[in-house]
């Protein structure tokens, strides 16, 4: 049985990747390593916790001794690294936490992997999951390709850019077999409600203001999280060593248009009069260093690995809204307590 490490598997995207790997690959033993920060939640993977090919490991990737111990003990042949501090706003108030987890944590994993397999990298793979935010901001036109120069603007994207560079450098310097992907904004079930789509779904349910940064004209590309998990599966198994692939939804939205669409769909779903939720839209002071537009050219992964999104935005958004309305307890557990205090300070 092949021993696979997935980091950050109690988070949003990681939980979908862990579930997919546990269910689709009975010949793998999947170890899910997660520190269970505010963003980690074992409820996200409750349905697979008793599977015989699954083990949860609670631990911090910044802890070098612990990381070396588990690599030695479980002999991970494949690593899918998703653990990260992931929220841009938090990176503005506490950049050092992002340096620790996203940079030092990644280097700890690279070192442990190298130490374990340096005499025989054959059949081994280190997969680093990253973001399109490393490329900085686009103007009104153009797309990020795999060769777009890095130009990060937030402490979050700077820390992810740095971790990407370390992964590539370990490939060049030590021959470490890596693959790397940079993906656009994900949405879907189990998304922590500090992020735009779940935050606004929750606020609409509770008739709370919908805080839109600046003039709302920031543009993002959105991808349904399960389609990202399919792409990750494909790149892990079929991607070429030392290659980067961009992953995107071919689905650009200005924030304000997306918020209006969400309001419309939620009004329909909740049986509220047309236009009621849109009255909650409130423009708030802009985020410093806010990137105007991100958009991905995902033609390489399409041409080389045959991947493209399977779900339309209409369908993905419907599934997402339905999931949040069916899982209000999950939402309430998160939005009470510590997160409520954090949220009050933000807006
Ligand atoms: P998330 O914040 O929902 O989950 C991150 C997980 O990592 C949490 O379970 C958390 O407990 C864990 N974690 C944090 N610090 C840790 C540490 N020091 N040690 C061990 N575990 C730790 O994030 P996400 O949205 O699921 O993103 C996953 C990865 O995908 C990240 O690397 C992120 O940069 C990347 N990414 C995210 C998006 C997106 O839209 N969410 C898009 C592209 C790339």
Residue 81 near residue 130 (C-beta atoms within 8 A): no
- Pocket-forming residues, ligand 1, beta carbon under 6 Å: 7-8, 10-14, 34-37, 39-40, 60-62, 82-86, 101, 105, 129-131, 160, 183, 185-186, 192
pLDDT confidence bin for 291, thresholds 50/70/90: confident
Q: Which residue has the higher pLDDT, 285 or 69?
A: 69
**Ligand 1 center from residue 263 Cα (angstroms):** 27
What domains appear along the chain, each with residue ranges and CATH number? 2-191+223-251+290-311 (3.40.50.720)
46 pLDDT above the threshold of 70: yes
pLDDT confidence bin for 334, thresholds 50/70/90: confident
Per-residue pLDDT at 183: 98
User: CA torsion, points 157, 42, 20, 146, in degrees to nearest 10?
Assistant: 0
CA 202 to chain centre: 20
341 pLDDT above the threshold of 90: no
Exactly one of 54, 127, 135, 156 is catalytic; name it.
156
For the stretch 205-253, pLDDT in tens is 999 999 999 999 999 999 999 999 999 999 999 999 999 999 999 999 9
β-bridge pairing 54-58 and 28-34: parallel
Alpha carbon distance 335, 189 (integer Å): 15
Q: Per mean pLDDT, which range of 14-28, 184-198, 270-284, 327-341 is the poorest?
A: 327-341
**Ligand 1 center from residue 10 Cα (angstroms):** 9
Per-residue pLDDT at 345: 67
Per-residue pLDDT at 152: 97
347 pLDDT above the threshold of 60: no
Per-residue pLDDT at 1: 87
CA 99 to chain centre: 17
pLDDT confidence bin for 343, thresholds 50/70/90: low
| Residue 127 a catalytic site member | no
Q: Which of 6, 33, 37, 57 to mutate to test the pocket of ligand 1 (most atoms within 8 A of CB)?
A: 37
Q: Which residue has the higher pLDDT, 23 or 342?
A: 23
The whole-model pTM stands at 0.96
335 pLDDT above the threshold of 90: no
pLDDT confidence bin for 342, thresholds 50/70/90: low
Nearest Cα to Cα of residue 231 among 81, 129, 84, 124: 129
For the stretch 301-321, pLDDT in tens is 999 999 999 999 999 999 999
Exactly one of 132, 146, 221, 227 is catalytic; name it.
132
User: CA torsion, points 330, 336, 341, 346, in degrees to nearest 10?
Assistant: 50
**Ligand 1 center from residue 268 Cα (angstroms):** 32
**Ligand 1 center from residue 192 Cα (angstroms):** 10
Give the residue whose CA is nearest to atom 4 of ligand 1. Answer: 11
| Residue 133 a catalytic site member | yes
340 pLDDT above the threshold of 80: no
Alpha carbon distance 59, 182 (integer Å): 25
Query: What atom of ligand 1 comes closest to residue 160's alpha carbon?
Result: 34
Mean residue pLDDT of the chain comes to 95
Please tell me whether residue 6 adopts helix, strand or coil conformation: strand
339 pLDDT above the threshold of 70: no
Per-residue pLDDT at 289: 82
Q: Please give the average per-residue pLDDT across 29-42, as a whole number.
A: 96
C-alpha separations of 7 from 95, 118, 140, 340 in Å: 21, 21, 35, 26
Per-residue pLDDT at 344: 65
| Residue 227 a catalytic site member | no
Contacts of 242 (CB under 8 A, 6+ apart): 168, 171, 177, 178, 179
Give the residue whose CA is nearest to atom 37 of ligand 1. Answer: 131
**Ligand 1 center from residue 195 Cα (angstroms):** 12
Query: What atom of ligand 1 comes closest to residue 190's alpha carbon?
Result: 3
Exactly one of 133, 146, 227, 252 is catalytic; name it.
133
Residue 238 near residue 199 (C-beta atoms within 8 A): no
Which DSSP helix (H) or strand (E) runs through 80? Answer: strand 78-81
Contacts of 142 (CB under 8 A, 6+ apart): 295
């Amino acid at each position: 049985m092949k021993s696979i490490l997935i980091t950050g598997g109690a988070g949003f995207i990681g939980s979908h990747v862990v579930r997919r790997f546990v269910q689709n690959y009975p010949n793998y033993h999947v170890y899910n390593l997660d520190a269970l920060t505010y963003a980690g939640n074992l409820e996200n993977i409750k349905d697979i916790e008793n599977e015989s090919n699954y083990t949860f490991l609670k631990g911090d990737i910044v802890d070098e001794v612990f990381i070396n111990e588990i690599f030695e003990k479980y002999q991970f042949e494949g690593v899918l690294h998703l653990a990260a501090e992931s929220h841009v706003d938090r990176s503005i108030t506490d950049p050092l936490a992002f340096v620790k987890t996203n940079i030092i944590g990644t280097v700890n994993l690279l070192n442990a992997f190298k130490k374990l397999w340096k005499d025989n990298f054959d059949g081994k793979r280190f997969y680093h999951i990253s973001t399109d935010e490393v490329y900085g901001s686009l103007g009104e036109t153009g797309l990020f390709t795999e060769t777009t120069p890095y130009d990060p603007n937030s402490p979050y994207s700077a820390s992810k850019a740095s971790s990407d560079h370390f992964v590539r450098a370990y490939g060049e310097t030590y021959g470490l077999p890596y693959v790397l992907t940079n993906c656009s904004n994900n949405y879907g079930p189990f998304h922590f409600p500090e992020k735009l789509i779940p935050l606004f779904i929750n606020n609409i349910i509770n008739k709370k203001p919908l805080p839109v940064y600046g003039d709302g004209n920031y543009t993002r590309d959105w991808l349904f999280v399960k389609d990202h998990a399919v792409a990750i599966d494909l790149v892990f198994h079929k991607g070429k060593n030392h290659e980067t692939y961009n992953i995107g939804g071919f689905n650009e939205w200005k924030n304000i248009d997306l918020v209006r669409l969400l309001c419309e769909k939620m009004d329909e779903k909740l049986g509220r009069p047309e236009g009621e939720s849109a009255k909650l839209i409130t423009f708030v002071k802009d985020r410093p260093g806010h990137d105007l537009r991100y958009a991905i050219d995902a033609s390489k992964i399409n041409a080389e690995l045959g991947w493209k999104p399977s779900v339309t935005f209409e369908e993905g958004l419907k599934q997402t809204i339905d999931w949040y309305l069916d899982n209000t307890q999950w939402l309430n557990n998160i939005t009470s307590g510590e997160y409520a205090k954090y949220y009050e300070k933000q807006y």
